[in-house]
Every structure is written in C-alpha cells, then in structure tokens.
Amino acid sequence: MYRYDEFDHALVQDRVKQFSGQVQRRLTGEITEDEFKPLRLMNGVYLQLHAYMLRVAVPYGTLSSRQMRMLAHIARKYDKGYGHFTTRQNIQYNWPALKDIPAILEDLASVEMHALQTSGNCIRNVTSDQYAGVAANEVEDPRIWSEIIRQWSTLHPEFSFLPRKFKFAVTGAPEDRAAIRVHDIGIELVKGEDGQTAFDIYVGGGQGRTPMIGKLIGKAISQENLLTYLEAIMRVYNMHGRRDHLFKSRIKILVHTIGEEEMRRQVEEEFAAMQKDGPVELPKAEIERIQAYFAAPAYETLENDPDELNAAFEKTPAFARWVKQNVAAHKVPGYAIANISLKPVGGVAGDASAEQMEKVAELADAYSFSEIRVTHEQNLVLADVPQKDLFALWQELDANGLGTPNLGLITDQIVCPGLDYCNLANARSIPIGQAIAKKFEDLDRQNDIGELKIKISGCINACGHHHVGHIGILGVDKKGTEFYQVSLGGSADEKTSLGDITGPAFTEDKIVGAVENIVETYLSERQNGERFLDTYRRIGMKPFKEKLYAAH
C-alpha cells in the first residue's frame, strides 16, 4: 500500500499543528463556537447530539495492520472502546473530548493517517473497490488513481469552499462494488485505444434528498489529462453550482438543470482552455512511483482447493457456510478474499471494538500481508488469504464475534447512525436494523432468501443509502412519531437503479412485518433461483404492493 514520503508527512504534520492551534484558540475562548465551526469542519470534527464526533479518513478503504492497531488504541484511550466504520470507508469516533482531538490527530499522523477533508464543502475522502488489486478482471488497481486524486485534492486552493460536499469513487473492475454512479464524480478505469489505462468519468450522481444516477461526461480520458479534466469539472461546478439553497447545491442538481449535453460542453470548453493556461501535470514518473506501492505482494505458488480446505468443509459445516457466503474468488491461484462481517445479529452495523480491531490486525499480519480493507457496506476484508489458511482464520474470527456468515444476505445491512447519534436524523435506524436482523436471524432462512441488500437511513440525507437498497427504508418524522417509508428495487452496482416507494410509510411496530411481507412475496414469485432484485425487476411493484397493503 501507499507509504508517505517526506512531503506527505510534512503536510499532515503542518495540518495537525494548525488545527491544534485552532482548538487552543477555541478552548481559551479566543474564538467562539460559530467561528470555530468552519475550522473544525475542515478537520472532520462534528458537533453531534451528545458530543463531538471525529471522522478519520481511511483513503480508499485500505489500512495497514499498524494503522488498525492505532485505531484500536484511539478507541480505547479517547473513546468508549469502539469505533464505527462508515459507508465512506472511514471510521468515526462518537465520544472524543475536544481537548483530546489534537492528541488523536498526532497519533494518527504517526501512522500516516489524518482527518483532513472528512467534512466540509470540499473534496472528501476518495473511496474505491474493496477488492482492488485482487479482482480477476480489473483494468488496473484503482487505488493508484485514488491516491493520485487524494493528493491532488488535498488542501486544493480553488476547491476547498465548494457549493457543497463532493465525493469521488473509483473502480477498476466492470463489476462496481464502489457505487460510482451515485457519487458526485464516479470514475471507472477502462482500456484506452492505445491499450493504456484511461478513465470513464461519471458526473452528477448522488443520493440524499434528490437521488440521481451519474452521467457519463468524459469518455476514455487519458492519464495525462486526468487531473486537468477533473479540475475542469470542479471549476464548472465551483462557478455555476447553486449556492443559494442548501438542497440544490450538489453537482447533480447542476447537471440535471443544464442537462448532460450542456454539462459536457462546458467541461470540454473549460478543459480546452485549461490546457492552454497550463494543465495540471502528472509526471509519468509520479504515476510509476505510486504504482510501485500497489504492486502485488509476494504471493506463494499455491493450488486452488487445497486438501486441507476440503477436509475442513466436511468436518465443520459452519466453516463451509462462512466460506460459501463470505469468501470471494481471488485472481491468484490458491488465494481467497475473506470478508469479515461487522453485522452480527444484535450488533450495530459497522461497529468494531478495540479488541476486534486488534484481532483483525493480528490476523492480517498472520494471513493477509498485513493489509485490511474497509467496505462501503460497512464490513472489513482480508484480501489475500491463502485458501489453506482459511480454516484457521475463520476459527479466530468466529471466536471473536467476527465470523458472521451473512455477506450480502438480509442481515448484512447498511444502517446510518440515525437518531441515536446524529443531529440531522428524523428517526432511529439502528434499532430498526436490529429488529429486522433478529426476525431473520435463522441462517437457513437467510440463505434461502439469498442476496438481499437492505439499506436504512434515519433521514432524507440518505447516509444509509436507502435509495439503492434492494429494500430501502427511510425514517421520517410525522408529528413527532417515527415512520418508515419503504422502497424496492434500488441497486448501487454497475446496473445502478433507484428504488421505487411502495406507498404509505409504516410505524416502528409494523416495519419488520412489512419487510417480512415483501420477502414472502418474493419467495412465492421467485423463478429459477433468481435474486430478489431480479424478481422485482421482472414483475415490478404491483404484486409486492398488493400484498403489502392488503390488510389496509
């Protein structure tokens, strides 16, 4: 993975010092909370319902075991012993004291981490595919380009006060695990005509109040032109994005208002002019320098399906179930991608205790070249596990509450923090997710239902990605009572779709029954083992709706 050089270190150290000064000015009362707000927001510090919250960037979701241990240390020393992995592949701490934040940032800097641009109206942490580098059919490791974009976007002088926050996602594989079409800018690596990596650039996707699917604005943009092209998009947005209305200020609204054609024309005009002004140069040597950090690790020569694996399957059905559900194919023979679910029944989606973080770090050292990935679906991944070691790995995971075999199943939900933590929320999300998981706890039943992605948001801002859930649940407040609106048929993959609302919302005590009703309809309509999403796309809303509201 990428390692800081003297320059990256210098920037982060400078920033820690700068922010420490700002915190000091706040603590002594030299500046007011109002004056402090924009400063803390530049550094991932939010004021939530009960306390300050610190959001730490995990660039493109990749962590070393050393970094993971530091995250555990911070959870233990400055928080209540746990952290929360987010849909942006970041980690949040919910209970740090403001006075401790400079020390936390120092600790983070010591392992090449920071909280830069995890909040505020700037370019946020770049997210990517959790299978980067190990997926069989990818063009190139998307983290190379994510890192280049990370550096280019860090403290960008022109784009630190955009109309609104701005999210990039990058994928290198045709199967989209990074949800690039629901980001402000989504980038897919493709092969250009010359056989080199080039970039398809989708603009104006997003969720929130007005969900939109991104439009393909730049096709097969070359490596040499990438940063200039991105800068052209950002400049068009910075100059023309609306600033008079909070809900209309994302780039998706600009693209929607002026149209895809006009957006492309403006970007290309700006791009052509920038090439004359002086493009953003990306030296070949710099690309190669960063590529070298993402070179494949020293894989051993191993065979697929080793005997010890098959023997373990026979002896331990629970292990076989975990492998079937949580382990994905690796591009190198004899290796596997192991997903670690952070969705145990009764838990909080994405939460990990300090002990669990340390255990994962230890397992990464033992079995996966000391590297861990965070997924936007709030799970963890050990991406390079020898198949022969899977059983040993699983035993350790299982003994530490990390072996839940539910990846992609109905209990593997995305759930935002909701009204339990967040001061934007209208309704609680965590207890709803927990109640649904409890209802579908039986693993045979989950397996029978198959792939079904439930995504739950506690307000219209859609941090829980409800628009792209196969079943989406949105918490709303009606005269002081929490209601839950249901949508069906959303998806965040390469065939991105936005869910359709079923009809009137459900109360807290009816929502679990509603989900169960939808699942029953699916099971009775399912043909040839198709997934929930495929059934929905085939038969549409009507049969679901009829059953769902039959009693009313």
Contacting positions for other proteins (CB under 8 A): 5, 7-8, 10-11, 14-15, 17-18, 21-22, 38-39, 42, 121, 151-152, 154-162, 235, 238-239, 243, 273, 276-278, 280-283, 285-286, 289
CA distance 331 to 404: 24
Helix (H) or strand (E) holding 535: helix 532-539
Buried b / exposed e along 56-73 (16+ C-beta atoms within 10 A): bbbbbbbbbbebbbbbbb
- With a CB cutoff of 8 Å and minimum separation 6, the contacts of 352 are 82, 83, 84, 85, 342, 360, 380
Write the single-letter amino acid at 373. Answer: R
Residue 200's contacts (CB-CB under 8 Å, 6 or more residues apart) are: 187, 188, 190, 216, 218, 219, 220, 221
Say if residues 264 and 211 touch (Cβ distance below 8 Å): no
Rounded Cα distance between 317 and 191, Å, is 42
As measured in angstroms, the least distance from the Cβ of 502 to other proteins is 38
Burial grade of 537 (CB within 10 A; 0-12, 13-18, 19 or more) = middle
Decide: helix, strand or coil at residue 488. Answer: strand
Q: Strand, helix or coil at 292?
A: helix
Of 2 and 159, the one with the shorter C-beta distance to other proteins is 159
How far, in Å, CA of 20 to CA of 23, rounded? 5
Q: Which is nearer to other proteins, 158 or 261 (CB)?
A: 158
Least separation in angstroms between CB 241 and other proteins = 9
* Closest to other proteins by CB, 243 or 537: 243
Strand-strand pairing, 82-85 and 351-353:
antiparallel
Cβ pair 338, 381 in contact under 8 A = yes
| Distance in Å, CB of 96 to other proteins, minimum | 22
Contacts of 115 (CB under 8 A, 6+ apart): 43, 44, 45, 54, 55, 56, 57, 105, 108
Task: Provide the minimum distance between the beta carbon of 35 and other proteins in the complex, in angstroms, as a whole number.
Answer: 8
Residue 285: CB minimum distance to other proteins, A: 5
Q: Whose structure tokens read 């052509």?
A: 272
Output the CA–CA distances (angstroms, integers) from residue 47 to 54, 94, 95, 418, in the order listed. 9, 10, 10, 15
Q: Which regions of 119-183 does DSSP assign to beta strands (E)?
A: 127-128, 168-171
By C-beta, is 22 or 341 nearer to other proteins?
22
Q: How far is the CB of 158 from other proteins (least distance, A)?
A: 5
Max CA separation in the chain (angstroms): 68
Nearer to other proteins, 272 or 318 (CB): 272
Tell me whether residue 119 or residue 326 sits nearer to other proteins (CB atom).
Answer: 119
Closest CB to other proteins among 17 and 531? 17
Least gap, CB of 434 to other proteins (angstroms): 38
The minimum distance between CB 99 and other proteins, in angstroms, equals 20
Q: Which one, 292 or 302, has the nearer CB to other proteins?
A: 292
- The nearer residue to other proteins, 90 or 238, going by C-beta atoms, is 238
Residue 155: CB minimum distance to other proteins, A: 6
Which of 4, 299 has the CB closer to other proteins? 4
28 or 137, CB closer to other proteins?
28
The nearest distance, CB 210 to other proteins, in angstroms, is: 21
Q: Give the nearest distance from C-beta 152 to other proteins in angstroms.
A: 6
First-last CA distance in the chain: 56
Smallest distance, other proteins to C-beta of residue 4, A: 11
Tell whether the torsion through CA atoms of 175, 178, 182 and 186 is positive or negative. Answer: negative
Nearer to other proteins, 20 or 48 (CB): 20
316 CB neighbour count, 10 Å cutoff? 16
Provide, rounded to whole angstroms, the least separation between the CB of residue 9 and other proteins: 9
Considering only CA atoms, which of 290, 325, 284 is closest in space to residue 448? 325
**87-90-93 Cα angle (round to 5):** 110
Reading the block at residue 243, the tokens are 């600033």
Residue 25 CA to residue 28 CA, distance in Å, equals: 5
The residue among 144 and 162 lying less far from other proteins, judged by its C-beta, is 162
